[in-house]
Amino acid sequence: MISDALALIRSDLLKLRRRRGLMAMAALIAVGSVAVVFIVTAARHGANPQHVRPAGGVKSFQDATDFLGMIAVVLAAMIGVTAGAGDAEIGTLRDLLATGRSRLAFYASRAVAAVVTTTVLLVAALVIVTVCSIALAGPLPAPSVSDIARRGGAVLAFGAMGALVCTGIATFVRSRGPLMASVIAFGVLISQLLLQLSFLGSLREALPLATFQRMAGDTVAGLHFALPLAIAVAVAWALAALVAGGWWARRVEV
Amino acid sequence: MTRSSTDGAALAVKTTGLTKRFGERNALDGVDLKVPRGVAFGFLGPNGAGKTTIIRLLLALAWPTSGSMSVLGHAVPARRAQALAGVGAIVEEPRFYGFLSGRENLEVNAAARGGMAAKRIPAALERVGLRARASDRVSSYSLGMRQRLGIARCLLADPELLFLDEPMNGLDPAGMLEVRGLIRGLVDEGRTVFLSSHLLDEVQRTCDFAAIVDRGRVVTQGSIDELTARNRRISIGTDDPGRAAALVANLHGVDGAAVESGGVVVSLAANGTADRELVTEIVRRMLDARLAIDRVAPIESSLEERFLNITQRLEDEK
């Protein structure tokens, strides 16, 4: 039973991994972008150490992990939507369901594969960010273990939540391109704008971006909500999308 | 050629009053279907007749509006896992992950099936003649290769029953011959093949039994021999076709007689007297009337004629 479930997850991981264009772009966005930021800053510091601070240190680590929060949205959209809608879009969903295997088993496997793939890419990016923040700190204080654990954990949790939400939504919306664009627009742009609208008050605590910033230990646009609440909101987002997607996966005609 | 009885226990597929509505339109309208085990069963109908819809229902890919169905003795959709464990299927055209190799595509399907399916991959590839190309990406496969890979995918289940939806679509004559050989080979092993097609000639060549579906209704079903026998005709050459037609038209067992150049074509009733006795009686009556006869020959009837007769009749009744 467990080996059958693992085989299904492995096959979903294979389907994601072999989409070379998608994976190359995701790796470039995750790893390449942070690497470039550190390389450029280090080069500028080397050329003008009096006026440009070192590329590493706690502040750089905080900025880089905030940036990775945005990257997590993009990766979750690319990978979660592909995992959730890929089979239906290609037309292979029928052939899989015709095996008689539980529809929920396929759905769960896709969600797990999306989370694993997103997490692997984010871990790679976090390793670069952490190593660079420590190695290039110079005279500045390097990030502590608790900094790394808290902010790194927030990035990974945010990425996993995003992947689950996207997998769930993609079960309804089978067209990958428009859904990816919508998720990225909401996660990166619209959420930022909504966070600035103070008249929304504590409603803003329901925004995924606010939960990420709270989990990372940042102050969130004047909001003062507890960490457990932020975690509960993130879990609720993931659960709501997963339950809705699972319900649809069970009843949809293909 | 394998022939099976059609009693309940021997049925691979059974549907009773199966209806599927899409909005106001009846895609299937009270379909009663009986597919014996161990045969190639042709499911014939024009495009849009409901062929793919019934396959989707039998595979629990869609839900019926009313009626009941069973696959390999298991009620669907209630016991679909048990039913479909012994079923391989190609629904419409076979779809694959173009960015994966042929073997990897089968691995994905084997993972979905679980159990022994993964171990059957090499044999399945060998059987459909794709072993040498198994490591190539499917995006580089021809349509014929994809059809064969689709059949290999079906074989991963070691299926008792295969649903093949228009498997000859887009194939050249050599490809059709190849797929036909594969299907007959599967039937010879005791498997049941449910072949949906609008290619009447292919069904007649490949299948043992058939059902004709039109506008969501099964209009007739039976063995190919029975279906074509329902259209029995003989041609008789005579010196006075008009008088000959009048003489035999009212005979018991004769559906009608039509004058043709140099003779008469007599249509025999489907469930009438045995051919030998009836033809003897027809000839005797003509000889008694002192008509000269220079030929008596059966007219070969095809499934295509039968199909066209039925669908034309339905069109006329509209």
Tell me the sheet residues that pair with B14: B34, B70
Query: How many Å is the Cα radius of gyration of chain A?
Result: 20
Would you give the DSSP letter of residue B136? Answer: S
What pLDDT is attached to residue B4?
42
Nearest Cα neighbor of A152 from A191, A122, A116 is A122
Q: Which two tokens stand for residue B240?
A: 């006075």
Q: Please tell me the distance from the alpha carbon of residue B197 to that of residue B192, in angstroms, as a whole number.
A: 16
Would you give the DSSP letter of residue B180? Answer: H
* Separation in Å, CA of A61 to nearest CA in chain B: 38
* Separation in Å, CA of B298 to nearest CA in chain A: 45
**Which residues of chain B from 41 to 70 reach within 8 Å of chain A, CB to CB?**
56, 59-63
Q: Which two tokens stand for residue A180?
A: 């990816």
Least confident of A25-29, A47-51, B136-140, B300-304: B300-304
Write the pLDDT tens digit of every residue in A87-106: 999 999 999 999 999 999 99
What pLDDT is attached to residue B24?
87
B108–A14 CB contact, under 8 Å: yes
A7–B81 CB contact, under 8 Å: no
* Separation in Å, CA of A89 to nearest CA in chain B: 10
ipTM score of the complex? Answer: 0.88
Question: Sign (positive/negative) of CA torsion B156, B159, B163, B168?
Answer: positive
Tens-binned pLDDT, residue by residue, of chain B (318 aa): 333 444 445 799 999 999 999 988 889 999 999 999 999 999 998 888 889 999 999 999 999 999 999 999 999 999 999 999 999 999 988 899 999 999 999 999 999 998 899 999 999 999 999 999 999 999 999 988 998 999 999 999 999 999 999 888 878 888 888 889 999 999 999 999 999 988 888 888 899 999 998 888 998 888 888 787 666 788 999 999 999 999 998 888 888 889 988 899 998 876 655 578 888 999 999 999 999 999 998 886 677 777 777 766 666 665
Assess contact for B194 and B225: CB atoms under 8 A. Answer: no
Q: What is the 3-state secondary structure (H, E, C) of A204-243?
A: HHHCHHHHHHHHHCCCECCECCCHHHHHHHHHHHHHHHHH
What pLDDT is attached to residue B63?
95
A159-182: average pLDDT: 91
**Which residues of chain A from 68 to 107 reach within 8 Å of chain B, CB to CB?**
90-92, 94-102, 106
A74-83: average pLDDT: 96
The stretches of A1-144 forming alpha helices (DSSP H) are 2-17, 20-27, 33-47, 58-90, 93-97, 103-135
Residue with more model confidence, B262 or A72: A72
Nearest Cα neighbor of A93 from B141, B56, B82 is B56
Tokens 């059974």 appear where? B14
Note whether A10 contacts B: Cβ–Cβ < 8 A: yes
* Separation in Å, CA of A100 to nearest CA in chain B: 4
Considering only CB atoms, which chain A residues are within 8 Å of B61?
A: 94, 97-98, 253-254
Count of CB atoms situated within 10 Å of the CB of B9: 7
A2-17 and A58-90 helices, crossing angle to 10°: 100
B89–A91 CB contact, under 8 Å: no
What pLDDT is attached to residue A218?
81
B104–A14 CB contact, under 8 Å: yes
Main-chain phi, psi angles of B157, to 5 degrees? -85, -5
B61–A15 CB contact, under 8 Å: no
Considering only CB atoms, which chain B residues are within 8 Å of A10?
A: 111
Cα B286 from chain centroid (whole Å) = 40
What pLDDT is attached to residue B230?
64
